[in-house]
Amino acid sequence: MRPLLIAGPTGAGKSAFALKAAAEGGVVVNADASQVYAGWRILTARPSAADEGLAPHRLYGHVDPARRYSVGDWLRDLALTLTEAREAGLRPVIVGGTGLYFAAATQGLAPIPQVPETVRAGVAARLTAEGLAALAHELTARDPETAATADLQNPMRVARALEVLEATGRGLASWREETGPPLIGDADRMLILPERGALYARLDRRFDAMLAEGVLEEARAMRARRLNPALPAMKAVGAPALFAHLDGEIGLDEAAERARRATRNYAKRQMTWARSRMNDWPKAESG
């Protein structure tokens, strides 16, 4: 069946649209890079158990936080999920806020070799010691083609670009020239872009609800695993602030404010990506 792609920033109400579509004979498939990790149901606003009971859900919470899960990993999991949906006669409703996932599924993914952990750790250490601005400046100087299309305000994107350059001697833009055919060609698409002020207010209320639902206990359980803080799961939006509180560095009020601010900034970056890369998608009002 023809897939339905639903994209938008965190807190935009995408799940309501996905559930409505899936209730008519579909399966909801996650396209959010944080919601893939087990242990972060509350913090990442994964679908509730009640929502999961209304329609099949796939690729939510299926990855151990100790694993470094990539867009390539997600594409492989997505390919299996699409095959299962086709065999079951279910329409895939792919929903999330990770623009890179949607781009990879609909435009293809470059065959970039795996970056050695030593290179990754070295770039991460430099990011901490020198700061984002210094590394963004370096990327612009060494690989202007990649820098021209990169989100230079996103530390993960800048670090990734430098990792690939260090490990392979080639920039991301060069590798992308070898991109293969996309996994998803023809599909229905929906982009949800709420008014910014309303979205920010909604996100602030949502984090207050998370506190009431036990997000601090969720963070405590994750912290108890003593995982590498550089892992993507440990850098989920809002997690560093909660960890700082649990470590006694800041009070809960300060942690909550940092988490709210980080979430608003994240949503802003998602909307910037969407307006730049998905502007031709049909728009829908926030759910």
Contact in structure between 139 and 193 (CB atoms under 8 Å): no
According to the annotation, is 48 in a ligand binding site?
no
Q: Which class does domain 196-271 fall in?
A: mainly alpha
According to the annotation, is 122 in a ligand binding site?
no
Q: What percent of the chain has pLDDT over 70?
A: 99
Q: What is the dihedral of CA 82, 83, 86, 90, to 10 degrees?
A: -50
Which tens digits make up the pLDDT trace of 109-134? Answer: 888 888 898 998 999 999 999 999 99
4-110+183-194 CATH, one of 3.90.420.10, 3.30.43.10, 3.40.50.300, 3.40.640.10 = 3.40.50.300
According to the annotation, is 11 in a ligand binding site?
yes
pLDDT of residue 286: 60
According to the annotation, is 235 in a ligand binding site?
no
> 160: which DSSP letter?
H
Give the residue range(s) of CATH 3.40.50.300 domains in the chain: 4-110+183-194
pLDDT at 287 over 60: no
Which tens digits make up the pLDDT trace of 7-49? Answer: 999 999 999 999 999 988 999 999 999 999 999 999 999 999 9
Which tens digits make up the pLDDT trace of 227-282? Answer: 999 899 999 999 999 999 999 999 999 999 999 999 999 999 999 999 989 989 99
Give the residue range(s) of CATH 1.10.287.890 domains in the chain: 196-271
According to the annotation, is 209 in a ligand binding site?
no
Distance CA(142)–CA(146), nearest Å, equals: 9
According to the annotation, is 129 in a ligand binding site?
no
Which tens digits make up the pLDDT trace of 148-158? Answer: 988 899 898 89
Give the residue range(s) of CATH 1.10.20.140 domains in the chain: 117-176
CATH tag, 117-176: 1.10.20.140
Which region holds residue 63: left if phi is over 0, alpha if psi is between -120 and 50, else beta?
beta
* C-alpha distance from residue 198 to each of 46, 227, 286 (Å): 21, 36, 10
> 169: which DSSP letter?
S
Q: What is the dihedral of CA 195, 196, 201, 206, to 10 degrees?
A: 90
